[in-house]
Amino acid sequence: MIKIYHNNRCSKSRLGLAIIEASGKDFEIVPYLTNTPSRDELKQLLSLLEINPIDLVRKNEAIWKENFKEKKLTDAEIIEAMAQNPKLIERPIVVNGKKAVIGRPPEAIKNIL
Confidence at residue 94, expressed as pLDDT on a 0 to 100 scale: 98
What's residue 95's pLDDT? Answer: 98
Residue of 35, 36, 78 lying closest to 59 (CA atoms)? 78
From 3, 10, 61, 113, the catalytic residue: 10
Q: Give the pLDDT of residue 98.
A: 96
The DSSP bridge partners found for residue 101 are: 94
Question: Would the pTM count as exceeding 0.75?
Answer: yes
Domains, the chain, with CATH or none: 2-112 (3.40.30.10)
pLDDT of residue 9: 94
Rounded mean pLDDT for each run of 10 residues along the chain, 113 residues in total: 96 97 97 96 98 98 95 97 97 97 96 95
User: Is 43 marked active-site?
Assistant: no
